[in-house]
Structure 1
Amino acid sequence: MGKRTGDHGAGKLADRGTAAASGSRLAPAESTAAPAASPEGMDDLLHVDPLELEIGFRLIGLADPTRGGDLLERLRTVRQRVASELGLIVPQVRIHDQISLAPNEYRVKIRGTVVGHGTAYSGRLLAIPPAGMVSRPDGRDGIDPITGLPAVWIHTDGRAVAELAGCQILDAAAVVAGHFGEIVRNHADELLTREQIERLLDRVRTTAPTLAAEVVPGLLRPGELQRVLQNLLRERVSIRDLETILETLAVHAGKTRDIDVLTEHARQSISRQITESYRGGDGRLRVVTLSRSLDARLTAAGNQTDTRPAEALGDETARSIIRAVAFAVGNLVEAGFPPLILTSTPARAVLKDLTRADLPRLVVLSQREIPRDTPIEVLGSVIEEEPETVTTFSTTGAMA
């Protein structure tokens, strides 16, 4: 990462929701004979922004309202949307140009660490072809940063033709803002601080003060509640209904302080909320399941508390399971359904932990998280035939 930022005319752009600033280059003489930093300057050097968006110099116009750029407004909208979806107070994002980046590159940082990056072309449009499209529009090859699928950066005068061909069209600011939102969702747990926990509890104290006091500090420390909520956010489960979550913790935290166990209880208490977004238009959940033997094996691996699931299963078996799950849910996605797999309650967290790195979009639900009035259609199953061999078979149309 470069130590200096380039001053390419972004200026200082600030509002209540998004802070933007441009650094300035030092001439060689100034950089070698810089005065000693004042205490205030040292404080600035030590400050770490919760969220940063760094942009290459050709993207500066996207963030400059005087040049017609609306990226700041889009980022503010994204922050509001994520807050509404996840119940998380999304901190302000500092946006600034960075000379070490390629001209059309951008990257997102959380507390100084890069968590995502991409490329966008100001003045062009990203055309995302529909599935099965053979002849793509003319333009510069690109990638949809959210799905990772191939796309094309086209000139603006090619928009009508691309739309007629069925392409989704996004301008550069929409691409950057959309990718930023996806990154924030993927790393929401890292943004939930102790200070935010206190602010969220303050809201509950206004409507349910007895409940709030019973759970924190009555049964759990603030840090323990933070870890439960982080576990939920890590799987994109909204913590917006914090009162219901606290009601559940009030029941179970007196019996156990195991964070993973409490997380599963919390998930079950908001099961209708979790499953709602995965239902089809007819109200059904289309899922892939595990065979009983494989489910039992994952449960046994989870019971070995001193090791991670992959270690308990063995690397080769773990990789085989991941490949089989990927194949099964891949068929589900190709059919137009969310990548959803259904397990027993003890196996749920184990499978999610096992697949988190390779299949981050996989949704793993337990049977206890399915509301009783929700119909389920099983479209496939992951089965275990040999100790080291895991395969899949289809049971399209089976009902459960």
Structure 2
Amino acid sequence: MIIEQYGWNEEWKSKWTEMLKPLDSARELVPGRISGDFGSKYRVITGSGEMWGELSGKLRHSLAGSGDYPSVGDWVALSVQDGGAHGVIHAVLPRRSVISRKVPGPNQEEQIVASNVDTLFLVSALNDDFNVRRMERYLIMAWNSGANPVILLTKADLCTDADAKIAEMERTAPGVPVHAVSAVQGEGREALLPYLGSGQTVALTGSSGCGKSTMVNWLSGRELQLTQEVREGDSRGRHTTTHRELFALPDGGIIIDTPGMRELQLWEDDGGLELAFGEISTLAAGCRFSDCSHTREEGCAVLAALASGELEEKRLLSYRKTQKELQYQNSKEAKQKRKTMAAASKSKPPRAKGGSWQQVLEEY
């Protein structure tokens, strides 16, 4: 198996050399890319083929409580056992991009959806699943990840007013490419080819039943993922993907399918909010006060744009709501970090994201 087909290139070779050069154990390790996440086990692509892998005890211990476990798309260092049928993962190479969200429920933990993604397809169907407010949240996640967002509007064959919905989505996501496609009718694939070239990794994310698995099958030209018919009651497909998985495409790229999200709880903001609401950020630069909250201050350029009709009220309301949510989330994260640090002071200090590999490998 040619590992280069799965994105191994000079950049990753350089990271590999930097990580392993000082270690005597480097000769016993091989690089691999995680292609499937099944909880306690991973499917890993290496130069000698595909194998099952699991975390070494030391790596698992070092990551406990951090939520920073390897994910689909990660490049890892592993030792091969059982004649190539099994591997033990000892470290994760520093990531280029990380798509993550808060885990569902009350726990303050990060869930990594996929790693080392170049382009993130934000998928929404052009039927009753269409929702611009939901797309705003996905855009924030995408901008925070380091991947380039592209909006993919599927099931165009089921929509009678596709042009109007495309225009609405373009207003919601200024500067972000928007493509309407129909796998049933075979329309729109050519526009997606620039994202699927050799060495490129794309991931699909969206709500349950929006057509991601159908897109994977269509773009690959093979039946890689199970799909189900659209329900008549609400025009939505039934959720079929149950785990994250990576596939090689005939055009040379890599595609990652992810389970549908019934809810997207944002983890933290690294500038994604301002990018997702770019027109509000631009207007805010003209406010009289640098700390303007855009609620009632005199000289607020955002409120002036709202009064003149330049800015839609629902857009500003969505911005305020999401801003408050992120502020609340950040306060809970800070509280959780203080608890973690207090507990760590009695044992071992927590490791920074992407930076745990060195000590683990030295111990290995």
Normalised by the size of structure 1, how large is the TM-score? 0.24
Structure having the higher Rg: 1
Which structure shows the bigger proportion of residues in helix conformation?
1
